[in-house]
């Protein structure tokens, strides 16, 4: 039976509008039969909301979600994660049987509607492993984040797609960690309430380095299904897990780290220039379409993008 499902993303500020629009464009271009729901928080202005609706997205108002005051702080380098707790609101989208939650710093490159047919118990989620290599050697990352403990180091092409890393009792701790850029879930009032209670009361919350991501890994410990890397293809994998990566296998590419494509003009992305260029290709195609149909809306979108001659900064 066809599922009543939707992709969903979170928008808390206009600065991420270009990302959300590109995610939607990718879903349309690959022929997805499911809509994109955008969860918007109160600070998102009406003009931004209107653009999302005009482009065919479904808006759902949600309140920001945070831990109890004083219980958690993100590292200064990762202040962009402060809003990501609110992604947990997706578990309350009970008007849908299944949600595929996407971050807005992604591009969809191949149809992945198969995730709506994934055999997934109601109390479980599905996600791709986090990469625990810490290639930038950031000192605030966990000390056991080293390549030999990274689940992605255990698999190679071509079997990585059909046999993703398995979590065993003997696996290193990082094997239990997921990347929350793409999460498959079955919403319910009970699950949403339980997650909120966990956020408010768990003594683990102060220890989390990556807000919603670590919470999901802890709450669903032993209850998350491992997806192949291609459904949440972290841009770093292409450089540090070359035995695993193939461009033509990517379903959804995730621009992790703080340098988002829309804050990194063409020609300035270093080793990520080619993959960032894929985002720019989609963005520029979107721009040609929007500039012709609604120039004012496009000016607002394009104002969020850092250009080579711009002195503005973004997270």
Task: Give me the CATH number covering residue 96.
Answer: 3.90.550.10
233, part of any domain:
yes
What is the arithmetic mean of pLDDT over 240-251? 97
pLDDT at site 69: 55
What is the arithmetic mean of pLDDT over 164-175? 94
What are the φ/ψ torsions at residue 6 (nearest 5 degrees)?
A: -160, 150
Residue-wise pLDDT for 253-279, tens only, equals 999 988 999 999 999 999 999 999 999
List b or e across 77-103, with b for residues whose CB sees 16 or more CB atoms inside 10 angstroms: ebeebbbbbbbbbbbbbeebbbbbbbb
155, part of any domain:
no
pLDDT of residue 121 exceeding 50: yes
314, part of any domain:
no
Q: Which of 141, 138, 126, 219 is nearest to 179 (CA)?
A: 126
Determine the structural domain holding residue 212 and report its residue range: 5-129+177-302
pLDDT of residue 197 exceeding 90: yes
Pairing of strands 36-40, 5-11: parallel
Question: 45, 127 in Cβ contact below 8 A?
Answer: no
What is the arithmetic mean of pLDDT over 218-238? 97
pLDDT at site 309: 64
264, part of any domain:
yes
Task: Report residue 133's pLDDT band, with 50, 70 and 90 as the boundaries.
Answer: very high
310, part of any domain:
no
168, part of any domain:
no
CA distance linking residue 41 with residue 205, whole number of Å: 23
Q: What is the CA radius of gyration of the chain?
A: 19
Q: Structural domain tally of the chain? A: 1
pLDDT at site 281: 98
pLDDT at site 111: 98
153, part of any domain:
no
Task: Report residue 71's pLDDT band, with 50, 70 and 90 as the boundaries.
Answer: low
% of the chain residues with pLDDT over 70: 92
pTM of the model: 0.92
136, part of any domain:
no
What CA–CA distances, in Å, run from 283 to 188, 207, 254? Answer: 35, 37, 15
């Amino acid at each position: 039976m066809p599922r009543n499902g939707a992709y969903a993303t979170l928008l808390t500020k206009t600065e991420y509008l270009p990302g959300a629009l590109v995610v939607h464009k990718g879903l349309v271009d690959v022929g997805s039969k499911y809509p994109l729901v955008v969860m918007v928080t109160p600070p998102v202005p009406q003009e931004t909301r209107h653009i999302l609706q005009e482009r065919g997205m479904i808006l759902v108002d949600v309140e920001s979600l945070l831990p109890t005051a004083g219980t958690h702080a993100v590292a200064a380098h990762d202040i962009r994660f402060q809003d990501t707790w609110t992604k947990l609101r997706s578990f309350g989208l009970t008007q849908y049987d299944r949600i595929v939650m996407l971050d807005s710093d992604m591009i969809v490159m191949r149809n992945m509607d198969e995730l709506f047919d994934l055999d997934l118990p109601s109390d479980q989620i599905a996600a791709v492993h986090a990469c625990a290599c810490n290639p930038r050697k950031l000192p605030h990352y966990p000390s056991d984040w080293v390549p030999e403990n990274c689940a992605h180091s255990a698999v190679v092409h071509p079997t990585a797609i059909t046999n993703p890393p398995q979590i065993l009792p003997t696996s290193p701790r990082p094997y239990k960690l997921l990347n929350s850029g793409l999460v498959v879930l079955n919403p319910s009032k009970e699950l949403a309430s339980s997650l909120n209670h966990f956020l408010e009361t768990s003594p683990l919350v102060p220890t989390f380095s990556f807000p919603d991501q670590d919470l999901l890994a802890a709450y669903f410990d032993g209850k998350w299904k491992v997806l192949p890397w291609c459904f949440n293809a972290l841009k770093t994998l292409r450089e540090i897990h070359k035995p695993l990566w193939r461009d033509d296998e990517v379903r959804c590419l995730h621009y992790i780290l703080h340098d988002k494509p829309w804050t990194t003009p063409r020609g300035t992305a270093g080793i990520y220039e080619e993959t960032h260029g894929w985002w720019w290709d989609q963005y520029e195609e979107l721009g040609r379409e929007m500039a012709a149909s609604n120039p004012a809306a496009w000016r607002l979108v394009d104002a969020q993008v850092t250009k080579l001659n711009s002195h503005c900064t973004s997270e």
